[in-house]
Structure 1
Amino acid sequence: MGHEGQDIFLKDMLVFLFAAGVIVPALRLIRVPAVAGFLVAGVVLGPYGLGTFEDIWAPVQFVTVGEPEAAEPFAELGILFLLFLIGLELSFTKLWRMKEAVFGAGVLQTTASATAIGAALWLFGMDPRAAAIIGLALALSSTAIVMQMLTSEHRATGPTGKTALGVLLFQDILVAPILILISFLSAESGGSILGDVFRALGEGLLALVVIIAIGRFAVRPVFRLAAEAGGRDFLMAVTLFTVIGAAVITASAGLSVALGAFLAGLLLGETEFRHQAEVDLDPFKGLLLGIFFMTVGMSVDLVVLVELAPLVLGGLAALIALKLVIAWTSTRLAGASRPAATEAAFLLAPAGEFAFVVMAAATSAGLLTTQQATPVTAIAGVSMLLIPVTSRLGQMLAKQTTSRPSEPPEPVSETDYTDRDGHVIVAGFGRVGRTIARVLAEANTDVVVIERDPTLVQQGRDSGWQISIGDAGRPEMLDAAGLAGASMIVITVDNATIAKRMVEAVRRKRPALPILVRARDPEHGRQLEAAGANHVIPDAIEAALQLSGRVLEEFGYAGETVRDLLAAEREEAYRTGTRETS
């Protein structure tokens, strides 16, 4: 009996995992986007979907979620990880370049949308306070869904992604003032409004200063200590501590937890640990965001939708049309190109997850009745379900406006290698790796280095190399290093097992990519060739040849004669050396 609550929780988590591992992949086979798949799964498996038949047929309870609110903490973590990973992709320099989008398009879009929606509701006879709250709630867009879609489509750091992100960041910053405003407007609030506003602003500014100061002076040393002491396990712990700790600091100051996670990503993105953190957190982010999208789907009451269908559908059409025009105009005025503004407008037109937070707070404060809040939350939920559809429409319309000369490409971040082309990846930055990198650099070759040792990574960064900490045997790390566009990869690690695993990982992703590997001896070289290496250079053979050449020179042989003898011996050694142990 005492375990009844735990049984329900475990059963609900099993349903969540079944949806993530079976239903959503099945929908992907018929080209349904993952976000839409999770939303649909939430509607079907939620208490307002199949859950309504539980009284008729009891076994339904085993395939539905009985307590969606139990998953909210996990859904919140998904949003934090998403904003953290977005921050990793950016930097303070790049964010400053986005100031027009954040404080230009963001302010224009949010203010105009809230004013237009609130004014329309007021003209229809709604109380001014309630109209203002609903206007602010519906003016916000979905950071979680929009950025997840842009990230999965590799558009988050492009013109569309930066335009949408600028508006969404301003909206995230605005969530706290909206909640403060609700407390001011509620009948129970008292005291000086002006004093509360200044106090809230002061606390928020202090929180931002604390996060930035910690990030500037403590993040890199702590991460280096974790890497040197225990590798990936400790790095994961420190990464989670950084994300959640920054979120706690901003939440304590009344700001959005998502803002704290984003700032933590920005700070870590300036270090050599960026790619390792991105690779480690990405699977967790996807699963936890899936839980969030399912909880959104579960909030859609199908019975209410049927009863209020005319009101919900009419409000939905008006909301999307109004915000579409305002978002497009705002982003264009802020300097976005016509295609980017079109795509961003269609992404920003639907409502967002914070609408549920604002509506719940306003209802609890007595500013809205349940009858007023129900259709608004239904409109917000359905509009979020339509984001994948509006995104596709935006892309289709944007393609019709790209016949004009293309705009100059965005400058590539010094730590963003995914769009590189023709570069050489060097796995390992010991003495051999450094020598190869220097030779390639002298030949004006673009080199990207992956190294597991944090000390070597720091030395490489201090010397100006494009280097990240990570394991080149992990497919995600290879993707982050730009394997898709690399011209070849050189593996210089001296650990036989690790080198073989790296060769196998590269060969699975790029069957035709040239792989050059350093081997300890002929037997090791044979194993690497069997794993898929194109060219294997055994240390033992090369060391023997170099010593032989020095001996011959000491005996007085001419340089040309020595080179000819070594060339012949090298050819014979490489021809027979890898078969000596067979």
Structure 2
Amino acid sequence: MGHEEAAVLGLVAALSSTMVVMKTLSDRGELHSLHGRILTGILLIQDLAFVPIIALLPALSGEDFLTDLGFGLLKAVILLGLMIILGSKGIPWLLARITGLGSREIFIVTVVAITFVAAAATESLGLSAALGAFVAGLLLSETDFGHRALSEVVPLRDTFSALFFVSLGMLTDPSFLADNLDLVLPLVGSIILVKFVTTALLVRGFGFLPHTSVLTGLGMGQIGEFSFILVGSATALGIVTQDFLTLTVVSAVITMALTPLILAGGSQAVDRLGNRVAILRPHRLSSQSAEDQVPPMYGHAIVCGLGRVGHLVAEELTEHKVPIIGIDLDPYVVAEWKNSGHQVIHGSSDSETVLDVARVKHARLMVISVGDPIAAWLTAQHALRIAPDLDIVARVHWRDEGERFQELGVQEVVWPQMEAGLEILRHSLYRFHTDPSEIENLVANLRDHLSFGESDGLEAMIERESGDVPIDEPKLDHSGP
């Protein structure tokens, strides 16, 4: 393998799959966990890095590398400059004028036209048309009309996503895999291992705990969808051969398929090893050093997870003179809270050591607002084992999760989706001049019914409870033409 092919292989292997990782994290309920947020940030940066990478790719095909590299850098600078200018000025101005016409069809045609113009522009610069389409998407997403544009082209997106996987299957050559197992398997193993080690070390270097670093590294071990565009462009430029393209596609399919298994198995392995290997435990401080930093507290509240929900709760408890100890895995959040004078522990609340440091035996209340449902469950389990009479308020993401928490002994379980639905119902009934006391009774009864007990269906419950709730009938105007 020559230097050019090696460079392309390195670039291809470096890009991970945003689509596969996000779907896997979402299915596991870890999208808003700390390692999930870190993975999201890394993947978004990789997607943006694709722009200069594809712009510099033609430099590998020329004889005068430095000259071609210079031209490639110039093209990348021009492209990024146009992105900034058009994204902040031109496209928002155009879409505002088009929206003012009040025609949905013209808006859709304009969005599609912007995509084709961007693709043609990058093609004329000697870059990939796919890069132009990607840039167009970035520009549109930064405007006030980005969400509308996305909603209008969702059918196209879903169609092309299906075509993408169909084409991926058509490009996969099982006979190539069977004939080249001695090449494919070491390559796949090397990609997964190198990306895991590199990512874990980098995340650890930024101050995150080994537990978080390992989980983040496990999520990066695949070849991404942008790599297909990259290797396709390299093949068209004559940098790599058709066999190289086939090797990349086969390796990508395998690594993508392994990602959910790696994340699931790796997470379980990390949790089990954490009981034996101290460095993999989801806490940073030893009990002795942590207790030196957290003063003796009694009758305090422990807030597990200082994200949006936990931050709000902790701030308001502090305003009401309630002593609190916060627990969070994010070192930047921990540093911010320490600088504000709060008592906070850098660690995972599902660690018994961390709970001991937070003096859970002497706490009056624990608020569990961590984004990871598994960590939330373990936190409640460990806390009640240490302090069986502890009052716990926990946030859950699903109904069955709430039922498990209540069976465990958690006193209050908050299901945000249910609360949002009840509030929307409350405000809706107010608009129909329903008696406020009747509304409150209905909402209270619905909350009791939906709160994680036996349920015979929402529709039946609403029909039964709202049978005596008077609602002003809307008066229809029949005087029109």
Where does 1:339-488 land on structure 2 (aligned, <5 Å)? 339-397=211-269, 399=271, 400=274, 403-404=282-283, 408-411=305-308, 483-486=417-420, 487-488=422-423
Please tell me the residue identity of whatever aligns with 2:34.
P
TM-score normalized by the length of structure 1: 0.45
Q: 1:42 matched to which residue of 2?
A: none
**Residue range with higher mean Cα deviation, 370-379 or 320-329:** 370-379
1:176 to 2:51 alignment: yes
Q: Deviations over 1:354-403 (max 9, x none)?
A: 22222222222222233444333322222122122122234334545564
Code of the residue aligned with 2:283 in structure 1: it is R
Is the CA contact (8 Å cut-off) linking 1:529 and 1:536 kept in structure 2?
no
Is the 2:59–2:68 contact (alpha carbons within 8 Å) kept by the matching residues of 1?
A: no
Q: What CA distance in whole angstroms lies between the structure 2 residues aligned with 1:392 and 1:137?
A: 25
Q: Shift in Å at residue 510 of structure 1?
A: 8.9
Secondary structure of the structure 2 residue equivalent to 1:348: coil
Deviates more, 1:368-377 or 1:139-148: 368-377
For 1:540 and 1:372, the matched residues in 2 are separated by: 70
Match of 1:326 among 184, 187, 198: 198
Deviations 1:523-552 (A, max 9, x none): xxxx997497477343479xxxxxxxxxxx
1:418 equivalent in structure 2: none
Amino acid at match of 1:296: L
Q: In structure 2, what is the Cα distance between the partners aligned to 1:250 and 1:152?
A: 34
Q: State the Cα distance separating 1:210 from its structure 2 match.
A: 1.0
The aligned amino acid for 1:404 is H
Q: Secondary structure at the match of 1:162?
A: helix
- Give the aligned partner of residue 357 of structure 2: none
Shift of 1:205: 1.8
- Rounded Cα–Cα distance in structure 2 between residues aligned with 1:388 and 1:381: 13
With over 3 angstroms needed to count, the CA separation of the structure-2 counterparts of 1:216 and 1:344, relative to structure 1, is farther
CA distance in 1, matches of 2:200, 2:112: 33
Matched, 1:536 2:469: yes
CA RMSD of aligned residues (A): 4.6
- The aligned counterpart of 2:315 is none
Distance 1:258 1:532 in 2: 52
Distance 1:171 1:382, change over 3 A: same
Paired residue type of 2:204 = R
- Structure 2: runs of 5+ lacking an equivalent: 275-279, 285-302, 311-414, 434-442, 452-459, 475-481
Q: CA contact under 8 A between 1:247 and 1:261: conserved in structure 2?
A: no
The 1-side partners of 2:132 and 2:35 are apart by 24
Partners of 1:379 and 1:352 lie apart in 2 by 11
For residues 68-95 of structure 1, the C-alpha deviation after alignment (integer angstroms, 9 at most, x for no partner) is xxxxxxxxxxxxxxxxxxxxxxxxxxxx
Alignment counterpart, residue 201 of structure 1, candidates 77, 93, 116: 77
The Cα of 1:152 is off from its aligned counterpart by 4.8
Deviation per CA, 1:121-152, whole angstroms, max 9, x where unpaired?
xxxxx311221111111111112222233345
| Aligned equivalents of 1:251, 1:151: Cα separation in 2 | 35
The match for 1:213 is: 89
Q: How many residues align?
A: 316
Q: Is the 8 A contact 1:323 1:349 kept in 2?
A: yes
What is the match of residue 21 of structure 1? none
Query: Could you list the runs of 5+ residues in structure 1 that have no partner in the other structure?
Result: 1-125, 414-480, 497-505, 515-526, 542-582
Q: CA deviation at 1:215?
A: 6.6
How many Å apart are 1:352 and its aligned residue?
1.4
Kept after mapping to 2: 8 A contact 1:204/1:250: no
Alignment of 1:549-560 (within 5 A): none
Distance 2:468 2:97 in 1: 38
- The equivalent of 2:34 in structure 1 is 159
Deviation of 1:511 (Å): 10
1:493 shift after superposition: 8.4
Question: Equivalences for 1:16-165 in 2 at 5 Å?
Answer: 126-153=1-28, 155-165=30-40
Distance 1:197 1:164, change over 3 A: same
Contact 2:87 2:142 in 1 (8 A): no
Letter in 1 for 2:471: P
* C-alpha deviation, 1:326, in angstroms: 0.6
Structure 2 counterpart of 1:264: 140
Shift of 1:265: 3.5
Q: Residues 536, 259 of structure 1: CA spacing in aligned structure 2 closer, same or farther, 3 A cutoff?
A: farther
Letter in 2 for 1:165: T
Residue by residue over 1:540-577, the C-alpha shift from the partner in whole angstroms, topping out at 9 and shown as x without a partner, is 79xxxxxxxxxxxxxxxxxxxxxxxxxxxxxxxxxxxx
> Does the residue aligned with 1:386 lie in a helix, a strand or coil?
helix
Cα pair 2:14 2:195 within 8 Å, conserved: yes
Task: Quote the residue 2:403 is aligned against.
Answer: none
* TM score, norm. by length of structure 2: 0.53
Aligned to 1:308: 180
Taking the aligned partners of 2:137 and 2:183, their CA distance within structure 1 comes to 37
Q: Deviations over 1:83-128 (max 9, x none)?
A: xxxxxxxxxxxxxxxxxxxxxxxxxxxxxxxxxxxxxxxxxxx311
Q: Is 1:298 matched up with 2:159?
A: no
SS of residue matched to 2:469: strand
CA–CA separation in structure 2 for the residues paired with 1:534 and 1:337 = 55
8 Å Cα contact 2:87-2:140 kept in structure 1: yes
Is the contact made by 1:158 and 1:410 (CA closer than 8 Å) also made in structure 2? no
Residue pair 2:209, 2:283 contacting (<8 A) in 1 also: no
Q: In 1, distance between residues paired with 2:38 and 2:116?
A: 24
**Match for 1:209: what amino acid?**
I
Measured at CA, do residues 407 and 314 of structure 1 come closer, stay the same or move farther in structure 2, by a change above 3 Å? farther
- Look up the equivalent residue of 1:410 and give its one-letter code: G
Question: 1 CA distance for matches of 2:254 and 2:43?
Answer: 19
Match of 2:121 among 236, 252, 259: 252
